[in-house]
Structure 1
Amino acid sequence: MNIAVLTIQFSLPGCASLKEKRQRMGGLHERFGRTPAIAVCESGHLDRLESSEWSFVVLATSPQKVESICSEIEDKLQRTVDGRVLEVSRELL
């Protein structure tokens, strides 16, 4: 089994409340948590309004599949989150 941890930090300029922050992040649990190969959680910046950090644990049978899933997650987040990606890190376990 191949495992990667993908951590993405977002900037949410102008975010004025935790409710707005949740709306702008657009239900990442619902979108990615349904896939059996992905576990997702908000892993940092929980108390900050203008930033957010999310971690995704990806499991697959090959390193290429893990990389492919991580790339799909990054691409989808770039298109759907009402914010700016500041940093992306991948750790293969």
Structure 2
Amino acid sequence: MHMGILTLHISLPGCRSLKEKRQRMGGLHERFGRNPAVAVCESGEHDRLEASEWTFVAVANEGPKVEALLGEIEDKIQRSVDGRVMEATREML
């Protein structure tokens, strides 16, 4: 069993309220949490309006599958979130 952790730091310039922050993040938990091989949570920057931190944990039988899954998540977020990914870190366990 292989596991990977992807942590994304996202900038949300001009965000003025927690409601706007939730709308701009576009339901990441619901979208990616449906996959039984992925766990997702907002892991930081809870009190900052102009930033958000999300962590995704992926599990698979093979390391390349985990890498592909994390890459797919990162690509989808960069295309769909009304913000800018400032930093992405990956850790394979």
**Shorter-chain-normalised TM-score: which range?**
over 0.9
What are the equivalent positions in structure 2 for 1:21-60 lying under 5 Å apart?
21-60=21-60
Deviations 1:34-70 (A, max 9, x none): 0000000000000000000000000011000000001
The runs of 4+ residues in structure 1 deviating greater than 3 Å are none
Q: Quote the residue 2:2 is aligned against.
A: 2
- Pairs aligned (count): 93
> Aligned residue for 2:80?
80
Structure 1-normalised TM-score?
A: 0.99
Q: Taking structure 2 as the reference length, what is the TM-score of the superposition?
A: 0.99
Percent identical pairs in the alignment equals 68
SS of 1:82's equivalent? coil
Indicate yes or no: 2:71 matched with 1:71: yes
- How far does residue 73 in structure 1 lie from its aligned partner after superposition? 0.3
Question: Hey, what's the Cα distance between the residues in 2 that align with 1:29 and 1:70?
Answer: 15
1:68-93, CA deviations, whole angstroms, 9 ceiling, x for partnerless residues?
00110011001000000000000111
Taking the aligned partners of 1:56 and 1:85, their CA distance within structure 2 comes to 14
- Stretches of structure 2 that go unaligned for 5 or more consecutive residues are none
